[in-house]
Amino acid sequence: MEMVGLNIGACVGLVLYVCSVIVTAINPTVVQTQIIWEGNTTGEVYLYRIPVIINLPNGDLLAFAEARKYDIPRTDVGAKFIAMKRSKDKGSSWGPTEFIVDDYEAQDGLNLGTAMVDEEMGYIIILYVYCAHNQCPERQNVATNFVVKSKDWGYTWGNPVDLGLQNPDILGFDLSPGPGYGIQKKYAPNKGRLITCGHRTPFALKSVVCFYSDDHGDTWKIGGGLVGIPFGGDKKVGDFAPGEAQVIEYPNGTLLVNARNTHFYHCRCRMHGMSFDGGITFPVTSTKLVPELIEPSVCGSILLHGGTLFFSNPASTSGRFNMTVKWSNDMGESWPGQLPIYLGSSEYSCLSNVDDDHIGLAYEKSDYKLVEFVKIKVH
């Protein structure tokens, strides 16, 4: 199938400006699948959820997940590890599970947020939240953001650091990053800036907010986002309630946030917002709904790969099933292509680059029982 593609390197200004057009062939196909995790098999972990996948400059892929220790059905509280696996062959095989963070016997433990690569320093940085549901008496029931770093591509990890201890503005600021990946800006403005976006907790706030760092993840500041309406109040079905989010960067430096439409504002579809100043503001005039990206209110993932914008989620308005990858060759203005991945029960997902010709998808499959990696040849 011949699709119209954009030479995004020729774009200047807003992403909606006219750009030079080329014709490219794109016909994504699944070339390999691998089960990364299966719950209740080792005695240490009952369930693996919230997959996150990133690719490293050395070619390795790293997959992360919340390793939930106990059977607490359909809830995000409880004790967990952050689990990690490595692939050195572009997803064809995966090494053993490593536990890089442990919240021990927490009543309201960690929830995995975002992983990002700082290519300037050679760091991997993970942000996560502890006590997101305000059910941890040992911490005065206050949600807390933590960061943990690796300086050797994930072979060793430092100790988790409470962001609020070094960043007074973040102390007590309840944000659940992602889940998914964060980014390092490659283009001006603010080249080199680390950015991760997520949703506020308690969930009555229902807004997307971004954190950013200009010193390689040592200190973080609160940026802009998509503000829920009514502001600061409980939301009901039909209200504007942005949820879990991922951010990407276009080659003109514009940021695009793709967010969960938690209470189905005007549609059962995704929300988009843009920032033109490195994540400081997201003008209301740039906020839009994307009717082609239907959803049942769930986490999704977005990825820019070689000029094509990809999106993954359970493509349904009635339930969490039918994991699908869709794509756009005009920077999200239209979504003509789709690749069914799994028709059955599916939940959260995360896309990643693999190489010039492939992308990867990690997703929850079969009613949380499995986390599967799918390698997709894009052309």
204-216 confidence digits (pLDDT tens): 678 999 999 999 9
Mean per-residue pLDDT for 345-371? 96
Q: Give tens-digit pLDDT for 249-266.
A: 999 999 999 999 999 999
Mean pLDDT of 276-300: 98
The percentage of residues in the chain with a pLDDT greater than 90, rounded to a whole number, is 80
- Token pair 């993840």 is found at 217
Task: Output 141 or 49, whichever has higher pLDDT.
Answer: 49
Q: Higher confidence at residue 167 or residue 81? A: 81
Cβ–Cβ under 8 Å, residues 11 and 338: no
- Span 217-235, average pLDDT: 92
Which has the minimum average pLDDT: 6-15, 106-115, 264-273, 338-347?
6-15
The band of 203, judged by pLDDT with boundaries at 50, 70 and 90, is low
Look at the pTM and tell me if it is higher than 0.95. Answer: no
Q: Considering its fold, how many domains does the chain have in total?
A: 1
Q: Which of 46, 348, 363, 368 is catalytic?
A: 348
Identify the active-site residue in 60, 76, 98, 162: 76
Q: Which of 330, 347, 364, 372 is catalytic?
A: 364
pLDDT at 18: 33
- Is the per-residue pLDDT at 378 higher than 70? yes
Residue 76 falls in the annotated catalytic set = yes
* 166 — pLDDT class (breaks 50, 70, 90): confident
Is-catalytic flag, 138? no
What confidence score (pLDDT) does residue 78 get? 94
CATH of residue 245's domain is 2.120.10.10
Provide CB contacts within 8 A for 377, sequence distance 6+: 28, 29, 30, 31, 357, 358
Q: What is the mean pLDDT of residues 125-147?
A: 92
Q: Per-residue pLDDT tens for 22-76?
A: 436 689 999 999 999 998 866 789 999 999 999 999 999 999 999 999 987 768 9
Write down the pLDDT at residue 177. Answer: 97
Cβ atoms < 10 Å from Cβ of 147: 24
Give the domain extent around 248.
Answer: 2-377
- The answer to whether 144 and 130 have CB atoms below 8 angstroms apart is yes
Average pLDDT score over the chain: 91
Q: Which of these ranges, 114-123, 135-144, 212-221, 283-292, has the smallest mean pLDDT?
A: 135-144
Helix/strand/coil for 267: coil
Write down the pLDDT at residue 43: 73
What is the tens place of the pLDDT at every residue in 47-58?
999 999 999 999
Respond yes or no: is residue 364 known to be catalytic.
Answer: yes
CA distances from residue 38 to 43, 45, 105, 142, 301 in whole angstroms, order as listed: 12, 9, 22, 32, 21
Query: Does the structure show a pLDDT above 80 at 357?
Result: yes
Confidence at residue 204, expressed as pLDDT on a 0 to 100 scale: 67
